[in-house]
């Protein structure tokens, strides 16, 4: 008898489920994508025990027709595509036809669904890929999916799940991403009976950002738009002060689909170079729209990895436009004094105001209101004429005010503030208070106190001065007498020969002295005091860590390092005249807000924030 045999359906389904359903997060993701594809305007997700014991997803979408119910749980059954040619024009989030079959193979599942064309809904009970019951039931338009006891029949898989709290946190992150990708859909997230997240579904991404991340994060975000040929990018990018220690806050969406892309991450981080500190990553929410034929989403079952038809063009578009916007924005770091408890209370109150009934509750509420109007003796049985109320028209110079919460009013003005501290004409209004800790200068201007780091500011001045001279090819050198002799081993000598042109462009002049020795005759003129071995060997060490294809950026980083060493140090006393000269030169720079390493040069503290801290 042969050794090769065909596996039975149950075993096949369990193996296939392992590719799609890794944890409760996978179940919620797949079912939410189905709800979005069904045209839902409201989606509720409820979990218990981190989604291990109970998951419920309710939407008001198109529902599943009775004739399609049995096919819906078969492998590779889908309503999204018909043939392989449709893969080039995919606009839906799901299309592989693996979600329902994979989920029901490893759980106890119940589906209640109704289409607008049907009078009655249908209820389906599935356990371990086997349909146990199909029956009619009363139901509103849409679909409710209930998944219980995930991995009940594969204990080995269940054993490797993390704690309920951790699994729930994964799902919470997914809900945040889905809310940002579809602000036009009202989403509600319930954990063990408590609402954790609620969005309004009004299509306003700014509102959703506030609901998800809060007022402090939103205040540091800027609207972003870029467009080129058939590619459009919209969303928000944050000021460099909002940078994080990992890439978890880089949110990318392609045609409404959340993805992870090394290309997009690299493009954004390249645009933020010299704006954020090393080992820090920017906060961005970018939604990219492009023809489906220009992106391949059929790379992995999770559909989070994609390939672009023209990667260099997309990379260049993001780097160029983000860097341009950062270079033309006020990026002075603010020093907000936020009361965490008060902020939490405000967000909870805002959430309560906008909580909407779930899809299956809406009709019940309407019916109840209608019944009360018809039967209650306290309800009027006829319509009284309504007297018009006089409302004075707003003056031409004063636009009509819209109803909004205090937080809305704050949000509407976040991006319209006009700061003048760094404008040359404002210099005469600067009042230099003095130097503290022999490092920071305090400057009063209008209703704000500005704190300037003399070391970071001088770094920026030297950096941009050197870059301008490089661009104009006017770099000059200063001669070292006597020349500096450095011994190099073979690998360092190879690096020196590889990047010899870049060193000479910077202003270095050196020659071989025989053996392993190299003589340095000249160094860049503004790097006075740096004619030592430490700088030169440090440059070679960093060159060894980066590929030769990134040579221009290498030169940039090395200039930043040299500028740092030549700048005025902290704990170094400066006179007021020297400080004023430094501030005046800072005003002329293209990016006066951050040193070459991304540290802020200026921090602003408003008078109102101080008064709030002192309870005035």
Tell me what pLDDT residue 97 has: 60
Instruction: Say whether pLDDT at 558 is over 50.
Output: yes
Tell me what pLDDT residue 44 has: 94
Query: Is 250 in contact with 259 (CB distance < 8 Å)?
Result: no
- Does 548 or 140 have the greater pLDDT score? 140
Split at pLDDT 50, 70, 90, the class of 409 is very low
- Does 304 or 338 have the greater pLDDT score? 304
- Does 288 or 349 have the greater pLDDT score? 288
Least confident of 13-22, 117-126, 372-381: 372-381
Least confident of 222-236, 348-362, 486-500: 348-362
Split at pLDDT 50, 70, 90, the class of 505 is confident
Cα–Cα separations (whole angstroms), residue 221 to 18, 242, 516, 601: 39, 9, 53, 19
pLDDT in tens, 313-337: 999 999 999 988 888 776 666 665 5
- Does 292 or 548 have the greater pLDDT score? 292
Dist. CA 403–CA 564, nearest whole Å:
51
Tell me what pLDDT residue 552 has: 54
Give 214-334's CATH code, choosing from 3.40.50.1460, 3.30.230.10, 3.40.640.10, 3.90.470.20: 3.30.230.10
Dist. CA 539–CA 561, nearest whole Å:
9
Tell me what pLDDT residue 245 has: 80
Instruction: Say whether pLDDT at 479 is over 50.
Output: yes
Classify domain 9-198 by CATH architecture.
2-Layer Sandwich (3.30)
Please provide the average confidence, as pLDDT, over all residues in the chain: 77
Tell me what pLDDT residue 360 has: 54
Instruction: Say whether pLDDT at 474 is over 50.
Output: yes
Distance between first and last Cα of the chain: 90
Give 420-616's CATH code, choosing from 3.50.40.10, 3.90.1150.10, 1.10.10.10, 3.30.1540.20: 3.30.1540.20
Instruction: Say whether pLDDT at 268 is over 80.
Output: yes
Tell me what pLDDT residue 28 has: 93
Residue 183 tokens, joined: 């602000």
Q: What is the pTM of this model?
A: 0.64
pLDDT in tens, 440-467: 889 888 888 989 988 888 888 888 877 7
Q: Phi, psi at residue 140, to the nearest 5°?
A: -80, 170
Where are the CATH 3.30.1540.20 domain residues in the chain? Answer: 420-616
Question: Mapping DSSP to helix (H, G, I), strand (E, B) and coil, where does residue 137 land?
Answer: strand
Instruction: Say whether pLDDT at 615 is over 90.
Output: no
| Residues listed for the chain | 616
Question: Mapping DSSP to helix (H, G, I), strand (E, B) and coil, where does residue 477 land?
Answer: strand
DSSP string for 327-345: HTS--PEE-----HHHHHH
Instruction: Say whether pLDDT at 372 is over 60.
Output: no
Q: What percent of the chain has pLDDT over 70?
A: 70
Where are the CATH 3.30.565.10 domain residues in the chain? Answer: 9-198
User: Residue 220, class by beta-carbon neighbours within 10 Å (0-12 exposed, 13-18 middle, 19+ buried)?
Assistant: buried
Split at pLDDT 50, 70, 90, the class of 50 is very high
Q: Cα angle at 323 between 319 and 325, to 5 degrees? A: 125
Where are the CATH 3.30.230.10 domain residues in the chain? Answer: 214-334
pLDDT in tens, 63-111: 988 888 888 777 666 655 455 555 555 556 655 567 788 888 889 999 9
Nearest Cα neighbor of 357 from 512, 468, 198 is: 198
């Amino acid at each position: 008898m042969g050794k090769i045999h065909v596996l039975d359906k149950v075993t096949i389904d369990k193996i296939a489920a392992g590719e799609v359903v890794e944890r409760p997060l996978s179940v919620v993701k797949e079912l939410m994508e189905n709800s979005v594809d069904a045209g839902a305007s409201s989606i509720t997700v409820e979990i218990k025990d981190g989604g291990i014991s109970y998951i419920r997803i309710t939407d008001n979408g198109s529902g599943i027709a009775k004739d399609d119910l049995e096919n819906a749980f078969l492998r590779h059954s889908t309503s999204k595509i018909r043939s392989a040619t449709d893969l080039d024009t995919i606009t839906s989030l799901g299309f592989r036809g693996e979600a329902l079959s994979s989920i029901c193979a490893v759980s106890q599942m119940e589906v209640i669904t109704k289409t607008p064309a049907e009078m009655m809904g249908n209820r389906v009970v599935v356990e371990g890929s086997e349909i146990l019951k199909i029956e009619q039931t009363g139901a509103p338009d849409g679909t409710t999916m209930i998944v219980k006891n995930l991995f009940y029949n594969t204990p080995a898989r269940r054993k490797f799940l993390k704690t309920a709290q951790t699994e729930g946190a994964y799902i919470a992150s997914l809900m945040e991403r889905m809310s940002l990708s579809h602000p036009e859909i009202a989403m509600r997230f319930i954990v063990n009976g408590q609402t954790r997240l609620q969005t309004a579904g009004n299509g306003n991404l700014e509102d959703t950002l506030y609901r998800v991340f809060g007022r402090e994060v939103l205040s540091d975000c800027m609207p972003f738009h870029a467009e080129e040929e058939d590619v459009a990018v919209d969303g928000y990018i944050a000021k460099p002060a909002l940078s994080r220690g990992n890439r978890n806050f880089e949110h990318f969406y392609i045609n409404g689909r959340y993805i992870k892309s090394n290309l997009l991450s690299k493009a954004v981080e390249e645009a933020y170079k010299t704006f954020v500190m090393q080992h820090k990553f920017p906060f961005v929410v970018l939604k990219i729209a492009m023809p489906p034929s220009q992106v391949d989403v059929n790379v992995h079952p999770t559909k989070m990895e994609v390939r672009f038809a023209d990667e260099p063009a997309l990379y260049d578009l993001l780097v160029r436009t983000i860097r341009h916007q950062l270079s033309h924005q006020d990026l002075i770091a603010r020093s907000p004094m936020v009361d965490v408890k008060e902020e939490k209370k405000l967000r909870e109150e805002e959430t309560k105001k906008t909580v909407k009934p779930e899809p299956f509750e809406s009709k019940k509420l309407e019916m109840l209101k209608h019944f009360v109007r018809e039967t209650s003796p306290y309800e009027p049985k006829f319509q009284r004429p309504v007297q018009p109320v006089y409302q004075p028209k707003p003056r031409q110079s004063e636009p009509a005010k819209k109803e909004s919460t205090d937080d809305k009013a704050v949000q509407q003005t976040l991006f319209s503030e006009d700061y003048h501290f760094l404008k040359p004409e404002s210099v005469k209004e600067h009042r230099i208070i003095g130097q503290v800790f022999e490092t920071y200068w305090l400057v009063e201007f209008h209703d704000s106190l500005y704190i300037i780091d003399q070391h970071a500011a001088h770094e920026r001045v030297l950096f941009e001065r050197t870059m301008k001279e490089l661009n104009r090819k006017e770099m000059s050198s200063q001669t070292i007498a006597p020349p500096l002799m450095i011994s190099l081993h073979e690998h360092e000598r190879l690096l020196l020969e590889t990047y010899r042109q870049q060193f000479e462009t910077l202003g270095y002049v050196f020659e071989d002295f025989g053996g392993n020795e190299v003589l340095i005759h000249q160094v860049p003129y503004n790097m006075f005091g740096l004619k030592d071995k430490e700088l030169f060997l440090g440059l070679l060490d960093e060159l060894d860590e980066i590929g030769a294809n990134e040579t221009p950026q290498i030169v940039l980083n090395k200039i930043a390092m040299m500028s740092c060493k030549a700048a005025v140090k902290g704990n170094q006393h400066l006179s007021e005249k020297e400080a004023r000269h430094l501030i005046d030169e800072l005003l002329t720079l293209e990016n006066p807000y951050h040193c070459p390493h991304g540290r802020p040069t200026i921090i602003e503290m408003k008078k109102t924030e101080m008064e709030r801290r002192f309870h005035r």
